[in-house]
Amino acid sequence: MEKPSKLFYQILVVDDEETVRHLLRAMLNGEGYTEVDEAASGKEAIEKLSEQEYHLALVDKNMPGMDGIEVMKEAKKL
């Protein structure tokens, strides 16, 4: 079975630090992944996850408010 093009994959980067989000996005873009969204908080991540499906979510574990573990628990419910 042939792998889908990297252009196919939807990725969500979740981190409360803007620099980290931008760095991860740039790294992924550099590897050919162009469909990369960002969320600055757990709440924003859940909103984005409820609006569309992602193939991969890179989530910071330590965030104020809703931490990464809580984000993943909520994402699993969706």
35 neighbors 10 (Cβ within 8 angstroms): yes
Range of the domain at 23: 6-77
Number of domains in the chain: 1
Phi, psi of 20 (to 5 degrees): -65, -45
**pTM, 2 dp:** 0.91
Answer whether residue 47 is part of any domain: yes
CA gap 51, 46 in Å, rounded: 9
Answer whether residue 1 is part of any domain: no
Q: What is the CATH number of the domain that holds 29?
A: 3.40.50.2300
56 neighbors 4 (Cβ within 8 angstroms): no
Q: How confident is the model at residue 78 (pLDDT cuts 50, 70, 90)?
A: confident
Cα angle 77-41-31, degrees, rounded to a multiple of 5: 90
Q: What is the pLDDT of residues 24-77, one digit of tens each?
A: 999 999 999 999 999 999 999 999 999 999 999 999 999 999 999 999 999 999
Cα of first residue to Cα of last residue in the chain, in angstroms, is: 28
